[in-house]
Chain A
Amino acid sequence: MSNSHPTGRGAASAGSMEFSTESKVDAKAMPRVLQRIIGRALRYPGLLAFAILCTLGSSLASLALPRLFGRAVDQAHHLLMNAGTAPDAARKALWISAGLIIAATMLRGLLTMLSGYYGEFVSQKVGLDLRVEFFRQLQRLPFGFHDRIHSGDLITRGMLDLEGARMFVQGGMMMVLSLALLLVFAGWQMLRTDMTMGLIGLAFVPVAAGALGRMGFLLRVTWLKFQELMAILTLTMEENLQGIRVVRAFAGKTFELMKFDRASIDALLYSFNRITLRLRAVAIMQVSFNASMAGIIWYGGHKVASGTMTVGTLTSYLGYMSLLQGPVRQIAMIFNSAARATSSGGRLFEILDLVPEITDRPGAPPLKPGVGVLAFEHVDFGYAPGGKTILSDISFEVRPGRTLGIVGPPGSGKSTLANLIPRFYDVTGGKITIDGVNIRHVTLASLREFVGLVQQEAFLFDSSIGHNIAYADPWAEEDRIVEAARVAHIHDHVAGLPETYETRIGERGVALSGGQRQRMSIARGVVPGPGIMVFDDSTAAIDAVTERRVRDALSRATATKATLIIAHRLSSLMHADEIIVLDEGRIVERGDHASLLAKGGVYADLYELQSRSDTTATLDDDAPTEGPA
């Protein structure tokens, strides 16, 4: 479910760190990145060595074949020339040659298979390792990181980039190896038998390799450019479909088709470029190869005609040539793979190399579950060091059974404050304590278990209602889930659904209204029974009456806990024991409802504004805000 989530409003401007987008191939980074990928393959030395040995064996078996062909041709031809001498022996020799050919092809086939399989096996092993590491790393990286980098980008890295890096093991590294082995052995054989003819035969290799290598690299570069254009096209189509009502309402069909055409024609032209690029290199390869072939036939043919070379030798050269043709063709793929692995691997390692900023101190003890007194002591916060200050000098204390309300205009730092309590961000000054213990001195897991934060925008997973409510405690018993749902006033609704708690929500299930989603999220927050409850504007989409009922139920359920309520709707928090008014990250007023009204300051103005404009009262319920995400 592609749900929107508060990206720490205000954090957007704090993107001090730039993350690379894949749009070019950095040739300078190539050795460094490829080395790291190879390093990962080397973690499986046994399997890798076996795959390499098989490659070596299959190269040798391949090489034997042209010699065997040549020998067979010579046997037949030679014996014909010296007709009459022991035809039985000659026949026998042919049978032996045939047997050897079968044995050699069999050996080559089996070894190629094994080398291919085990090369791929290592490559998949590397992929598995990277996958698991990437997943673990993303879970460890704090909110600050996830604010800076778009979720779609991370998904791309974990899917496509990971594949690109992994595939280099088989498609690059192993292929280079087998190509090199074949070239060296065949070249040596060809040059050893007849230097001139060998040189003629091998002449096509550098020409073709140059053209194909360049093409492989360029194809990658243009591919990235093409992808960029396709991404624009995709965006155009996707937004058109998502906003189809706006398009229809404004009679925008022609306009939208124009946008589509503009994006697609660019992409089309680029794909035409790619075709030309590819075919040019392939044509160079074919012409140079056939030129070498012609050279061999001409040179060898004349030598055979003049009797200075046997026809079998010529045949073996023709065999070597067809042996080389395939692997040389693959040079393009190798270069492409190396270029892809460089940019993909670079983007992947960029994430894996990050050191999570928020971690447990060495030897940090877990938070001892106490009564749960939450205190802020002169807390300052800014998303980027030296950047804009979001909160400054915030101090308060909430005791068990008491409620603190926080109110303020958008951008005043309310949500940020909430996110500091479970340490999704670390304070930049002052400290936050629970029962007198600095939250930075205890383990993250125990802290987050103790603090229950219900966010404004409820992210629900594409699974059943029960799974979602029990998300924080999948082992929770049925009655605890039902109890939480009752507190959040969602149970009656769920009970009315055909499959009650097993009902699936999201893309392939029922959709919930904005208010229902928030109530689900409240139920989820209640299940684990946290020691401190923090509600970050988490009832905004619930209608006023239902909200009051939820509040009443909540205050009964959490009567002994410290509670923090953040809201912009004053009716949500006016019964709090203390209310803090935030503006531009500072506390401008504090007190209870009555005393703040009496003061006639910001709070009183806000109260006046809200009662006048009737925003708190709407004529209907829970307006559905976001449909099925």
Chain B
Amino acid sequence: MTQAQKRKSPRASLGSSEGDDIFGTFDVAIARRFLGYLEPHRKTLLAAQAAVLISAGCQVLIPKLTGDAVRHAVNHQIGALDQTLMAFGLAAGAYALFFFIGEFLSSRLAQQVIFDIRRAMFSHFQDVSLSFMDKTHVGRIMARLQGDVNALQEFLDTMNGAVGDAVTLIGITVVLLSTDLKLGLLTLTVLPALIAVRAVWLPYSKRSFRQARDASSSTNSALAENINGIRTVQETRREAMNFDLYKVKAEENFRAQNAASWMTQIMVPTVDILTGLAIAVVVVVGGQAVLGGTMDVGVMVTFILYVQRFFEPVRLLSMQYTIMQRAMAAGHRIFEVIDVPVTIADKPDAIVLKDAPATVEFRNVTFGYDPARPILHDINLIVRPKEVVALVGPTGSGKTSIIALTHRFYEVDKGQVLVGGHDVRDISLDSLGKTIGMVLQEPFLFTGTIEQNIRYNTDATRDRIIEAAKAVSAHDFIMRLPEGYDTPLGQRGRNISMGQRQLISFARALVADPQILILDEATANIDSFTEMAIQKALKVLFAGRTCMVIAHRLATIRDADRIVVLQQGRILEQGSHDVLMQTGGLYSHLYTSAHASFDDQVVAVTGDAEFATRT
């Protein structure tokens, strides 16, 4: 490790790419579940299908009528010609009308169903346990909500059309065979040839398209990485090397795209040549029949017109097949999410807390994100009304787990957590959320104005909001912002400082006015000036409430009614500052050294780390 070795290649890479597989195979279970979403729209679906069938029928009829008209013309039957023309007009009109109706209904239906599915997923994410959310990266969830749902939409959009294409294909076959069986059969021999060619082509093209997609996402990911880290790139003068790395990727992408384009283009002459062959058959065989007087010239025209239309539905259907495969892969991932069981839900007769004492109690609680490795061991703790309890202890001691369990973000493995004297599992989640307020270490703000962020889901008036902001010393800095309370916050409030974000989250908690407040003190660097305001605000927040605070500031700890010192998931000691100092335990040791350097804990993305770090 430490011995010097000359490097043969630079330690450098740019971007990374990965993608879920885009093609899946047909799965009845998934198809059936899609249909479930269509169920409420059954009538619309049937109407759309009927319209598509009628329009497909008319589409098949039009060349037939054209051929008939030609036959009548050749045979000098003016009356019949005019009648056929009338029929032509009717068929063309009906085709346009029903095409419109069918497409209109089915496209709208597709959009509607897609939004239903997206909403079902989104709504489900509001209920699944945080353990699942911790394990799943937001980017990945978004990919499902966006990419997978879009793949499904593509499928639904074209599904109705595919039925029409199938009907058209069958219709053409029927018309050709009934018009002239022998010539019909001869002409139709190219159809299996075409299907065979496409079947051979499909796997190759799929591989090529996949490569093109991967190359493109790899190039784009490199670009995105370089843009996000542009300051570091310029600081470290990596411009030239990154440019070279990027260029290699961009050129690779260029080749992959051209290969894919070649795959698309290769089908063009194949279809053209097969069409030419079919028409040649009509010309030679049909022409001789006309010559021999056994066939009308109008029939020959009909055949020529139909043969040119055969290939379109075949092409569309094979495209639809690919889209179906994509939709299956997407559907698989979508239902995987929707099927994540909701482990934390209201009981049917869940209690709504009203006038319950603002107490929190832990009875013999054992808990671990991974039950095999408990974080908390047999915790017993009672927080009385209006008591301020400070939780203290090194990283990984279980402080955050305690506050997470109080809010029932997770279920205990053993024992009970009680709020207001009731087991949290018996209380409705909504009621629990209204009783307990929470301020997280990382203040999370939403896009919107400052006022909207403080109000969040309450119906507080502007006056109430200003009052709360004043109480937590946020009013002054808010008024100094260009638009005061109407100032829009950028991405996660990036346009104001960390300390200011913290103050706004305090105001939000104050407006919600919970009986029990849980607070995870921020440790991120806050300048001394805002720090003063925060300390003042904390006193306002604590007044008249039951509070559990994960404390990092000595000032906060000293002001608490009781200090609970945790280590490795157990309560080591508890009591007031003075008592603990006299005991001479861990607390007094920490306090006197005024610092502690505990192990740096690696916060593994999928592991059992402290939840407050995930944002």
Residue contact B277 to A290, C-beta cutoff 8 Å: no
Q: Whole-angstrom distance between the alpha carbons of A215 and B511 in the complex?
A: 50
B225: interface (CB < 8 Å): yes
Q: CB-CB contacts of A320-338 with B at 8 A, as 1s and 0s?
A: 0010000000000000000
Binds B, one of A180-188, A192-200, A297-305, A392-400: A297-305
Measured CB to CB, the nearest residue on chain B to A255 is B457
> Knowing that A234-B146, A628-B605 are A-B contacts, what are 15 other residue pairs whose CB atoms are under 8 Å apart, sorted by A's residue number?
A97-B287, A113-B266, A120-B261, A132-B246, A142-B234, A240-B122, A248-B407, A250-B456, A260-B122, A297-B70, A298-B82, A410-B529, A618-B595, A625-B523, A626-B613
Residue contact B440 to A245, C-beta cutoff 8 Å: yes
Residue contact B407 to A283, C-beta cutoff 8 Å: no
Which residues in B have their C-beta under 8 angstroms from that of A108? 272
Measured CB to CB, the nearest residue on chain A to B439 is A249
Residue contact A541 to B447, C-beta cutoff 8 Å: no
Residue contact A159 to B242, C-beta cutoff 8 Å: no
Give the distance to chain A from B66, nearest Cβ to Cβ, in Å: 6
Residue contact A110 to B269, C-beta cutoff 8 Å: yes
Q: Whole-angstrom distance between the alpha carbons of A322 and B512 in the complex?
A: 68
Residue contact B279 to A87, C-beta cutoff 8 Å: no
Residue contact B595 to A249, C-beta cutoff 8 Å: no
B contact face: mostly helix, strand, loop, or mixed = helix
Q: Whole-angstrom distance between the alpha carbons of A5 and B229 in the complex?
A: 9
Residue contact B228 to A3, C-beta cutoff 8 Å: yes
Which residues in B have their C-beta under 8 angstroms from that of A69? 279, 283, 304
Residue contact B438 to A250, C-beta cutoff 8 Å: yes
Residue contact B73 to A314, C-beta cutoff 8 Å: yes
Within 8 A of A (CB), among B281-318: 281, 283-284, 286-288, 290-291, 293, 297, 300-301, 304-305, 308
B409: interface (CB < 8 Å): yes
Within 8 A of A (CB), among B512-527: 512, 518, 523-527
Residue contact B494 to A4, C-beta cutoff 8 Å: yes
Which residues in B have their C-beta under 8 angstroms from that of A72? 283, 287
Residue contact B1 to A478, C-beta cutoff 8 Å: yes
Residue contact B280 to A99, C-beta cutoff 8 Å: yes
Residue contact B95 to A286, C-beta cutoff 8 Å: yes
Within 8 A of B (CB), among A302-320: 302, 304-306, 311, 314-315, 318-319
Q: CB-CB contacts of A249-271 with B at 8 A, as 1s and 0s?
A: 11111111100110010011001
Which residues in A have their C-beta under 8 angstroms from that of B262? 117
Measured CB to CB, the nearest residue on chain A to B55 is A286
A474: interface (CB < 8 Å): yes
Q: CB-CB contacts of B258-284 with A at 8 A, as 1s and 0s?
A: 100110111011111101110111011
Within 8 A of B (CB), among A167-225: none
Report which of B76, B226, B275, B277 forms a contact with A135, defined as CB distance below 8 A: B226
Residue contact B283 to A268, C-beta cutoff 8 Å: no
Q: Whole-angstrom distance between the alpha carbons of A524 and B457 in the complex?
A: 44
Binds A, one of B20-28, B86-94, B170-178, B200-208: B86-94
A364: interface (CB < 8 Å): no
Q: Whole-angstrom distance between the alpha carbons of A305 and B99 in the complex?
A: 33
Q: Whole-angstrom distance between the alpha carbons of A123 and B33 in the complex?
A: 41
Q: CB-CB contacts of B226-259 with A at 8 A, as 1s and 0s?
A: 1111111111111101110011001101100110
Give the distance to chain A from B93, nearest Cβ to Cβ, in Å: 7
Q: Whole-angstrom distance between the alpha carbons of A235 and B239 in the complex?
A: 32
Measured CB to CB, the nearest residue on chain B to A507 is B137
Which residues in A have their C-beta under 8 angstroms from that of B605? 507-511, 628
Q: CB-CB contacts of B57-69 with A at 8 A, as 1s and 0s?
A: 0000010001001
Give the distance to chain A from B598, nearest Cβ to Cβ, in Å: 5
Within 8 A of A (CB), among B540-569: 551-555, 557
B583: interface (CB < 8 Å): no
Give the distance to chain B from A515, nearest Cβ to Cβ, in Å: 7
Measured CB to CB, the nearest residue on chain B to A155 is B224
Residue contact B230 to A138, C-beta cutoff 8 Å: yes
Which residues in B have their C-beta under 8 angstroms from that of A495? 1
Within 8 A of B (CB), among A60-106: 69, 72-73, 75-77, 79-80, 83, 87, 90-91, 94-95, 97-99, 101-102, 104-106
Which residues in A have their C-beta under 8 angstroms from that of B440? 245-246, 249
Q: Whole-angstrom distance between the alpha carbons of A91 and B280 in the complex?
A: 13
